[in-house]
A and B are shown apart, each in its own frame.
Chain A
Amino acid sequence: MAAVTTSTERSLNRLAIVGVLIVTMIFLAPIYWIASTAFKPRNLSTTIPPTVVFTPEVSPFVKLFTKRSQLRTPPTPEEYAAAPWWERMVFDGGEKVVRDGKGNVQWSGYPSRFMNSLIVAIVSTILAVGMGTLTAYGFSRFKVKGEGDLLFFILSTRMLPPVVVAIPMFLMYRAVGLNDTHLGLIILYTAFNLSFSVWLMKGFMDEIPKEYEEAALVDGYTRMQAFFKVVLPEAATGIAATAVFCFITAWNEYAFALIMTNRRAQTAPPFIPSQVGSGLPDWTVIAAGTLLFLLPVAIFTFLLRNHLLRGVTFGAIRK
């Protein structure tokens, strides 16, 4: 069948490939825009029509990581010559790097926000996926009283847009001192993701024949050992898929992060746009921040891609 392709089939194939390429380009356009802006000199970042050909520079990233202030007077030639390469870039932009009394360069707010994002997203993903997997296993393998109602209840936590409860949550958090803490955001994101994680993992667990564990039980293993030795490896695909989705949700969450945090535990999403407001916005710095922000999800997804491909098409696997 496949060996014999007629010429019409071949041209149809080519047409399909062209179509896919066009659609892919449309989807990639915003990413290209952000990526190219992140390497542009500031004066080229807002030209109309957009500048496509330019000499890329890393000054946006230097600015992203340093605290800067406006230069009243240009630096003296000696000052300029004594400065390291990256500081010159800041001078070229009409700004100077802020140093403390001992002459140490001050970091901008970005690195700590980025770290906060990582901590909150990773910990909440581990919690949501871990608890979701155990819960799903319980629902899938044991007779749970009122199973349908409980599962519906778990799902129902997703039926309201979460922002609806933002104000009461904020008041509660403030009362117990959870606002602007990592723990507060972690609890919040774990709660968001848990219902999703339970439902997704239940689907995967149901797919794993219970005969595998039963064979292990008969072979002299406890239920716990059977779970870790037999069920978990079989569920790896599902766990990977669920983890990616949970991570993306937690990583991208904006509204609650904006309301619940302002400094210590603030994550990157509310921080990046907050930089727009101070003075004339430097779009290249914002683009640089956004580009770096995109990376963890891209890397995470890339690492788990083999699992994901099978995981997203679950139901079609096995049998």
Chain B
Amino acid sequence: MAHIELRNITKTFGGHTALKKLNLEIEDGQFFVLLGETGAGKTTTLRLIAGLEKPTSGQILIDGVDVGDWGAAERDVALVLQQYSLYPRYTVRENLEFPLKSKIRRVPDDEIKERVGRAAKTLRIEHLLERKTDRLSGGEMQRVSIGRAIVRKPRVFLMDEPLSALDAKLRESLRTELKDLQRRLGATFLFVTHDQIEAMSMGDRVGVLNHGHLVQTGTPKEIYDNPRDTFVASFVGSPPMNLIKGSLVGGRAVISAKTFELPYEGLATSGADNRPLTFGIRPEDVVLESGAPVAAKVHDVENHGVEKIVTLRIDDTMLRATVPASTDVEIEQDVRFAWNPRKVALFDRNSGVSLRHAG
């Protein structure tokens, strides 16, 4: 198992910068999730750590050793890709044996057999061992790919959206299985995804990547409660945080164009008064009450089973609120709402950075 550190990694492809001054540290035995939109540079980060790509500048350290000059084979990492990681001509067993048959590992035959058996049992693919891999379902293939990684006891597991090709139900069950597996093995995982639910539910720590910049790292709770900027705020959480323009006047949040105003009781931030701001409020911190200070019309209602997501319209400002499913609301109904004044986040409107993080 290992400790991974990226120092000031920059990677350019021709004129295009895929990663810019990336600093990242993954503790031994940690489940680290790298979250980002498509094209953010997630795969590139994994390929750099695996040694399939060389950084334009910066250092990669595994257990404190600079591995810049090491080839992929020497780094002893395992990589699980979204697709294409199984050899179509081989059976499942041959695929699982493949990494163990490498000359640099020299695993004796009976140990190969035993390790493959153990991995197959862990992943519940014992009945598939003699099957050709092109006869497997997507979920089975993904299990075999993961199996190919765990037979090896690598120093770190790198996983590139291994679940994104699967249907929702399978994804959920494999998510739990993977997390279990990681705990049992005590392994270091770097898991890449564009799915914020995956990130929040699996990660010990989450790093949010935006256009090659690592915007924020922290525990899922830190990221959810205290997003560093409006990008993270709108990317993490479903439905996302409401972001509305306004300014702080005498301790009250005044929403632009004098649509409405509500109290603000967050951290006292010096110099927040009278400057263009973006207020962020999670939908669950918006409450509908008959006696609440602001009037709104119900624009839309989405029923999600245990809760409803209500979109409120105040002139032309939209605001989403989650309410219990038992609440009776109808479209175009007149309602009144308030927010939890302690949960309001302030972002600088120009830079998008949270005032709390800007310090």
Interface residues of A (CB under 8 A from B): 209, 211-212, 214-222, 225, 230, 233-234
Q: Are A209 and B84 in contact (CB under 8 A)?
A: yes
If the complex has contacts A212-B84, A214-B52, A214-B72, are A219 and B99 also in contact, measured as CB distance less than 8 A?
Answer: yes
* Residues on B facing A (Cβ under 8 Å): 50-52, 71-73, 75-79, 81, 83-85, 87-89, 98-99, 102-105, 148, 152
- Report whether A211 and B105 are in contact in the complex, using a CB–CB cutoff of 8 Å: no
- Nearest CB of B to A238, in Å: 14
Of the candidates A211, A219, A220, A222, which one forms a contact with B84 in the assembled complex, judged by CB atoms under 8 Å apart?
Answer: A211
Chain A residues within an 8 Å CB radius of B88: 234
Q: Can you show 17 pairs from A to B with CB atoms below 8 A apart?
A: A211-B81, A211-B85, A212-B85, A214-B50, A214-B72, A215-B84, A215-B85, A215-B148, A216-B98, A217-B72, A218-B51, A219-B148, A220-B103, A220-B104, A221-B102, A225-B102, A234-B88
Q: Please, which residues of chain A bring their CB within 8 A of the CB of B89?
A: 233-234
Cβ of B100 to closest chain A Cβ, rounded Å: 9
How far, in whole Å, are A222 and B81 apart by their CA atoms in the complex? 19
> How far apart are the CA atoms of A222 and B73 in the complex, in Å?
7
Given contacts A212-B84, A219-B152, 10 further A-B contacts (CB under 8 A): A214-B50, A215-B81, A218-B51, A218-B78, A218-B79, A219-B99, A220-B102, A220-B104, A221-B73, A225-B102
B73 touches A218 (CB 8 A): yes
B78: chain A residues within 8 A (beta carbon)? 218-219
| CB-defined contacts of B104 to chain A, threshold 8 Å | 220
Smallest Cβ distance from A147 to chain B, in angstroms?
14
Give Cα distance in the complex from A162 to B43, angstroms. 48
Closest chain A residue to B98 by CB distance?
Answer: A219
Q: Which of B71, B76, B81, B83 contacts A217 (CB 8 A)?
A: B71
Whole-angstrom distance between the alpha carbons of A222 and B84 in the complex?
A: 19
Whether the Cβ atoms of A218 and B50 lie closer than 8 Å is yes
CA A215 – CA B103 in complex, angstroms? 15
Contacts of A234 in B (CB 8 A): 88-89
Q: How far is the CA of A14 from the CA of B85 in the complex (A)?
A: 46
A209 to B50, CA, bound (A): 18
Cβ–Cβ < 8 Å partners of A222 in chain B: 73
B102 A219 Cβ-Cβ under 8 A: yes
A212 x B77 contact (CB < 8 A): no
Please determine whether B73 and A212 come into contact, CB atoms closer than 8 angstroms.
no
- Shortest A222–chain B CB gap in Å is 7
Residue of B71, B73, B148 most packed against chain A (CB within 10 A): B73
A209 CA / B71 CA spacing, docked (Å): 20
Question: Which single residue of chain B is at the shortest CB-CB distance from A211?
Answer: B84
Residues of B within 8 A of A233 (CB): 89
Expressed in whole angstroms, the Cα–Cα distance for A214 and B51 within the complex equals 10
Residues from chain A with a CB closer than 8 A to the CB of B76 are 220
Which residue of A has the minimal Cβ distance to B90? A233
Chain B residue contacts of A215, Cβ below 8 A: 79, 81, 84-85, 148
Q: How far is the CA of A261 from the CA of B283 in the complex (A)?
A: 88
Tell me if B81 and A220 are in contact (CB < 8 A).
Answer: no
Residues on A with C-beta less than 8 A from B51 are 217-218
Contact A212 B152 (CB under 8 A): no
Shortest C-beta distance, B50 to chain A (Å), equals 5
Q: Which residues of B contact A214 (CB under 8 A)?
A: 50, 52, 72, 79
Contact check, A218 vs B103: say whether CB atoms are below 8 A apart: no
CB distance from B151 to the nearest CB of A (A): 10
* Cα–Cα distance between A222 and B248 once the two chains are bound (Å): 62
Given contacts A217-B52, A218-B77, A221-B73, contact A212 B87 (CB under 8 A): yes
With both beta carbons as reference points, the residue of chain B lying nearest to A230 in the complex is identified as: B87
Given the known A-B contacts A233-B89, A234-B89, are A218 and B72 also in contact in the complex, defined by CB atoms under 8 Å?
yes
Please indicate which of the listed interface residues A215, A216, A221, A233 has the most CB atoms of chain B within 10 Å of its own CB: A215
Q: How far is the CA of A211 from the CA of B52 in the complex (A)?
A: 10
Return chain A residues, CB-CB under 8 Å to B103.
220-221, 225
